[in-house]
């Protein structure tokens, strides 16, 4: 039996980390075997991508190629074997992150081509929060220019996510409490 592949997406501070854990616990209690994972993954390339994110020196194109190389490794070594073993895979970020973040500065058509061979999740849930809310959750107050620049970028990423939400890509309002957000996620997953 093939398992289910569920992805949680959203801007920084949208609560993916918390909600993927809650979902994993919920499904385990219901008797499912779960692989809880995330991207960038723990591969050498994933770790390198995370390091580069902190330095912010590399071009977006190079970064998205790194994310795609990491994704290929993640799919081959973790995601597909788990699905084949009948596990439910819950992944914090996947191809949609490349499309939503990357298309702030790169053509969406190029990003789609780069990502089109990866297996499609059965369900993707976008945790939607305004950029201000995401930023506050991640960092608290910071110097205004920095905050403004970052807020602008995250607002664009949020718009990109919402524009990509079609078919098996659902949107959940994640600006309320953890409990409220999880209740909305549970409703969608229970239907699956
Ligand atoms: P996070 O792991 O802290 O959520 O963030 C990883 C960062 O990398 C986040 O800013 C989004 C970005 N990213 C992309 O731009 N494209 C991708 O494919 C992935 C996986 C992450």
Q: What pLDDT score was predicted for residue 187? A: 97
The atom number, within ligand 1, closest to the CA of 12 reads: 4
> Which residue, judged by its Cα, is nearest atom 3 of ligand 1?
12
How are strands ordered across the β-sheet holding 5-9? 34-38, 88-92, 5-9, 123-128, 169-173
* Residues 34, 24 contacting (CB under 8 angstroms): yes
Q: Among 20, 93, 149, which is best to mutate for testing ligand 1, by the most ligand atoms less than 8 A from CB? A: 93
Q: What is the mean pLDDT of the chain?
A: 92
- Predicted confidence at residue 111, as pLDDT, reads 98
Q: Which of 7-21, 66-80, 141-155, 159-173 has the lowest mean pLDDT?
A: 141-155
Does ligand 1 come within 6 angstroms of the Cβ of 67? yes
pTM for this structure?
A: 0.94
Residue-wise pLDDT for 38-67, tens only, equals 999 999 999 999 888 887 778 899 999 999
Residue 144 confidence (pLDDT): 44
Q: What is the rounded CA–CA span in Å between residue 129 and residue 176?
A: 9
Tell me, what's the pLDDT at 146? 47
Q: What confidence score (pLDDT) does residue 11 get?
A: 94
Residue 145 has pLDDT above 50, yes or no: no
DSSP label at residue 122 = S
Instruction: List, for residues 83-119, the tens digit of each pLDDT value.
Output: 999 999 999 999 999 999 999 999 999 999 999 999 9
- CB–CB of 145/151 below 8 Å? no
Question: What is the pLDDT at residue 149?
Answer: 56
- The domains located in the chain, with CATH, are 4-191 (3.40.50.300)
**What is the whole-number distance in angstroms between the Cα of residue 94 and the centre of ligand 1?**
9
Q: Is the CB of 40 under 6 A from ligand 1?
A: yes
pLDDT digits (tens, 9 = 90+) for 26-36: 999 999 999 99
Q: Cβ(152)–Cβ(32) under 8 Å?
A: no
147-166 mean pLDDT: 88
Nearest CA to ligand 1 atom 19: 97
- Indicate if ligand 1 lies below 6 Å from the C-beta of 161: no
Choose the weakest-confidence range: 80-94, 97-111, 128-142, 152-166. Answer: 128-142
Gap from CA of 44 to ligand 1 centroid (Å)? 16
Q: Does the CB atom of residue 12 touch ligand 1 within 6 A?
A: yes
């Amino acid at each position: 039996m093939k398992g289910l592949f569920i992805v949680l997406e959203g801007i920084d501070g949208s609560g993916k980390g918390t909600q993927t854990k809650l979902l994993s616990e919920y499904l385990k209690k219901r008797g499912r075997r779960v692989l809880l994972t995330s991207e960038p993954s723990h591969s050498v390339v994933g770790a390198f991508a995370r390091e580069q994110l902190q330095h912010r020196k590399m071009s977006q194109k190079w970064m998205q190629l790194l994310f795609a190389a990491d994704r290929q490794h993640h799919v081959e070594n973790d995601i597909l074997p788990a699905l084949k073993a009948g596990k439910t895979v819950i992944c914090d970020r996947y191809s949609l992150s490349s499309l939503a973040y990357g298309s702030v500065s790169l053509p969406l058509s190029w990003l789609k081509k780069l990502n089109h061979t990866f297996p499609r999740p059965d369900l993707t849930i976008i945790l939607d929060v305004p950029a201000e809310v995401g930023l506050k959750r991640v960092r608290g107050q910071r110097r205004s220019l920095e905050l403004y620049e970052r807020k602008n970028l995250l607002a664009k990423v949020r718009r990109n996510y919402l524009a990509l939400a079609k078919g098996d890509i659902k949107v959940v309002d994640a600006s309320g409490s953890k409990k409220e957000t999880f209740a909305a996620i549970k409703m969608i997953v229970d239907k699956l």
